Structure formats: structure tokens, C-alpha cells
Amino acid sequence: MKVMIIGATGLLGKGLMRQWTGAELIGTGSRDLDIRDGARVREFIGKNNPEWIVLAAAYTDVDGCEKNPDLAFAVNRDGAVNVADAAKSVHAKLLFLSSDYVFDGTNTTPYEINDVRNPQSVYGHSKAEAELRLLEILPDACIVRTSWLFGVGGKCFPDTILKLAATRPELDVVNDQRGCPTYTVDLAAALIALCAKNARGLVHACNAGECTWFGFANEIVRSAGMNTEVRPVSSAQMARPAPRPAYSVLSATSLHSYGIEMPDWKDALRRYLDERQRVSGN
């Protein structure tokens, strides 16, 4: 099987490139392929003629999207449309990475795949519109929503917390946003399995369990054996340009329907910390 990973230089893309065995992989980053350039996308995909395309490239700076909405929609929606059009032209299957931000965060129980989209941020809107457009172009596309992604090799929440905790005796972290931390290693394994099963439609894929950002930070500091005090604060006290969903826990029912399960986020965090230590050599 020939697989093209668009966004191969990102946190998730690196995991996919490392873990995908038994397939011919074509990895491309933004320097090689700007998905906003429709003609270039069509030429590149046409030349390589993959069986599967995993679109992991996106403008994921949520606050940056709020300040630069044109760029957000150009990359996250229009770029995805360019890839879908090109995939259709070569009869390739498409797996697109989407986000918990397509929901408004007012639920009190985990979001199912068919719950109503109601994004509250520019980033969420760009992803929600991409989902709708892709399903028009490729009704059999697989759209995987995930959340709170972390992994070795780039900026992520645990890495930020660990760096701050190394220099500060106290950290303030919001305690009124709840979601599912997701380790790139585990998500990559789930995506590879979904492609092997020719998955289609909407799927939610996150590590099992849920927590607040405060709970996540507390577990990071505790698991790393650090003495920094983590203090709970409200979102209002830590105002950001883009609104965040207060509750964005994603139900695993759709993933389980394919016979795929992901480990608990606390187990994933321990493995992340081990990997981070191995990579840094400390």
C-alpha cells in the first residue's frame, strides 16, 4: 500500500512516519507542499498516485487563527479541499484530522460523532467547514477528530509545563476546561489501524479518560517527580484571544466500533515522559 502523509514534519506526522510499517510512505511537510496551492497539490498527488492520503497538516495555533482568520481558512478549509479534490482525481482514500473545537463545549457527556457542530473559535469554524466540504467531495472520506495532542519533538502542553516547572515554584493552570489528552504515538497507531480497516465517515480518537488542564498539569509535575505547586484558576483569569470549549470530551464509541482501543491518558503520559527523557539524553 502506498500512503502519503501530508504534514509529516509535525508532531503527529513524525509519529506516523516512524510507526507505519509494511507500506510505501511518502512524507511531505509545508516546505515541500503548500496545500493552499491547488495546482501544486494536484500535480504532487497525481505524480505519486497514493492509495491513502493522511492529511495531518493544519494551522493549529488556536489564538493565531483568531488573529489571522484568512490564513486559518486558507490552510484548514481551502487547503483540505485542494487535497480532497486531488485525492478524488486519483481515486485515493483520504483520512483528515479534525478537532474537538468543532463543538461548543456545552455538553456534560462525551460528544458523539453525530452531535451538532457549533464551533466558537475561528480555528473550530475552519475545521468544521473543512469537514462539511470534504464529505461533499469524498463521501467515503474518514474524518478523525482528536484533542489535546501531545508528543515528543515539538511544542505541546506537557513540554511547556515541564519547562515552566523547572524554573518556577508555582504554576497557575485553568481548571474549568475538560477534555482528553492524546499521545501522538497512540493516535498514530489508531490512524494506521483505521486505514487498514478502510474506515470511512466520522471517528473520534483520543486516549481513554478525561481531565482538566489543571489535572493534566498536576499529573505531569507529579509523574516527573517535580515539586512545583500547580494551582487551579478559571479561564477568565487566564484570558486568551480564542474561546476554548469548557467541555470537549470525545466519546470513543466510533473508534471501538472498528475494534480499536486507545490506552488511558495517564499511561500515555508516563510513556511520553520516558520517551522525552530518552530523546533528550537526560
Is residue 282 scored above 80 in pLDDT? no
Q: What's the confidence (pLDDT) of residue 281?
A: 67
> Cell numbers at residue 177, please?
476546561
Confidence band of 101 (pLDDT split at 50, 70, 90): very high
Rounded-to-integer distance, Cα 10 and Cα 146, Å: 15
Confidence band of 238 (pLDDT split at 50, 70, 90): confident
Cell 482501543 identifies what position? Answer: 261
| pTM listed for this prediction | 0.96
- Told to judge if 123 belongs to the known catalytic residues of this protein, a careful annotator would answer yes
Domain ranges of the chain: 2-151+180-207+248-263
Q: What is the pLDDT of residues 118-138, one digit of tens each?
A: 999 999 999 999 999 999 999
Give the right CATH number for 2-151+180-207+248-263 from 3.30.300.210, 2.60.120.620, 3.40.50.720, 3.50.50.60. Answer: 3.40.50.720
Q: Are residues 6 and 56 in contact, defined by beta-carbon separation less than 8 angstroms?
A: yes
Q: What's the confidence (pLDDT) of residue 24?
A: 96
Task: Please report, to the nearest 10 degrees, the dihedral formed by the alpha carbons of residues 165, 188, 79, 204 taken in order.
Answer: -90
Confidence band of 241 (pLDDT split at 50, 70, 90): confident
Q: What's the confidence (pLDDT) of residue 62?
A: 95
| Catalytic site residue from 59, 101, 111, 123 | 123
Rounded-to-integer distance, Cα 229 and Cα 164, Å: 11
Q: What is the pLDDT of residues 51-100, one digit of tens each?
A: 999 999 999 999 999 999 999 999 999 999 999 999 999 999 999 999 99
Cell 468544521 identifies what position? Answer: 128
Using the 8-state DSSP alphabet, how is residue 249 labeled?
P
Phi, psi of 264 (to 5 degrees): -65, 145
Rounded-to-integer distance, Cα 211 and Cα 194, Å: 26
Rounded-to-integer distance, Cα 33 and Cα 245, Å: 32
Rounded-to-integer distance, Cα 221 and Cα 227, Å: 7
Q: What is the per-residue DSSP string for 101-164?
A: GGS-S--SSPBPTTSPP---SHHHHHHHHHHHHHHHH-TT-EEEEE-SEE-SSS--HHHHHHHH
Q: What's the confidence (pLDDT) of residue 239?
A: 81
Rounded-to-integer distance, Cα 203 and Cα 154, Å: 25
The strand ranges marked E within the chain are 2-6, 24-28, 52-55, 93-99, 142-146, 149-150, 170-174, 178-179, 182-183, 201-204, 211-212, 229-233
Confidence band of 153 (pLDDT split at 50, 70, 90): confident
Residues 6+ apart with CB under 8 A from 56: 5, 6, 7, 8, 10, 12, 13, 16, 97
